[in-house]
Amino acid sequence: MALTKTNEREQTKVSKSPQPIRGNQGASIMGPTNPSREAENQDTLVPPSMDHGTMANMRWSFADSHMHLSEGGWGRQTTMRELPSAKEAAGVNMRLTAGGVRELHWHTAAEWAYMLKGRARITAIDQDSRAFQDDVGEGDLWYFPAGIPHSIQGLEPDGCEFLLVFDDGNFSEEATFLLSDWLAHTPKDILAKNFGVPESAFDHIPQKDLWIFQAQVPGPLSQDRVAGRGPVPNTFSHHMRAQEPIRTKGGTVRITDSSLFKASKTIASAFVEIEPGGMRELHWHPNADEWQYYISGEARMTVFAAENNARTFNFQAGDVGSVPFAMGHYIENIGSETLRFLEIFRSDHYADVSLAQWLKFTPHELVRAHLNIDESVLVKIPENKTPVVAAKAA
């Protein structure tokens, strides 16, 4: 059921200096070129013959995002400013050293996170002063609702790196409400009155925001824990990679939404692994836009936008993809290693519609009248969904 790689695709794939030539169409580039970038996106340079029309860009690389450096770590973001087709979500890639702190803060958008590497300590309180602290590692998630104050700190041995996703495409990391920024803009007599201490207690507070800063690595969580007014009703962290996945011949899928991670009310997600030659089946999502983050491997995605429009994109680790609401698409592993990526949706639940299942459960005579295909094709479609399919048998 995987797409067959055509000769025209293979020709482009193996070319050391790709040119916009497909059969007897196109011609070599005579002017300036960017060979390394063109090699990364060969299906843009030489689009499959099925691509047609004018469609918005649906790919961005964090490598092209501005890097904000600070003592203790860095951050870079991908929002609608970088990827205008991604209207419902924005992402931040952040790194903290051991002891590095993403200072106490809150947002106007909800924050969902996936731990890429390392370990971190996260803290928060809710509106009823119920406290939360946890240590998270690779493959773990956290979710903080809009307006809930929280912090992140890297742990030993080498801190952490993570992906943050916000349920607003217009989000900006620079618009975060920071503790140090607030106090630097509040009169000291007001601070003294608020906390019931002398003004001199605030003589050494920062004069500007800290954003990310270096601090001592905290001790064990058991020693650092604060009870507050009791535990939060739904934990703000979740062990996504510990979930039992949906297993297929072509790979695995782990789905995490509010039915499993109850705190995550506005973001649903899936962690997808596709083996070489396999693909995420032809499908669409009936409830939200799709925001993607590629962790490893190489991928090809063609998006169908109706009105005779379709466009193909290539992805690799560190890239972001966007699929607007209800547009049909597939994701194919075109590399030699396992493809791993996240599908993320601004929704409380995960939903997709499978093209194969649609045809399977529609009267076959009607399907054959549309597509002129043999009944033997339809009867081979599984009764159950196969979200990741293996390479076509020889």
Contact 30, 306 (CB under 8 A): no
| Interatomic CA distance for residues 79 and 61, integer angstroms | 11
- Which residue, 230, 246, 239, is CA-closest to 260? 239
Which tokens hold the place of 342? 């996240």
Going 86 to 87 to 89 to 94, the CA torsion angle's sign is positive
- Residue 182, SS3? helix
Closest listed residue to residue 1, CA positions, set 370, 341, 330: 330
**How many other β-carbons are positioned within 10 Å of the β-carbon of residue 17?**
10
Separation in Å, CA 276 to CA 2, 10, 299, 362, 385: 11, 15, 10, 31, 20
Place of tokens 């003294």: 192
Residue 47 CA to residue 12 CA, distance in Å, equals 10
CA dist 80 → 173, 321, 358 (Å): 12, 12, 33
User: What distance in Å separates the CA atoms of residue 145 and residue 107, rounded to the nearest whole number?
Assistant: 9
Backbone angles phi, psi at 42, to 5 degrees: -70, -25
Mark whether 244 is an active-site residue. Answer: no
Catalytic residue among 343, 365, 375, 383: 343
Q: How many whole angstroms separate alpha carbon 349 and alpha carbon 266?
A: 8
Provide the Cα torsion 7, 9, 14, 18; round to 10°.
Answer: 120
Say how far apart CA 329 and CA 313 lie, in whole Å.
Answer: 11
* Catalytic residue annotation: 343
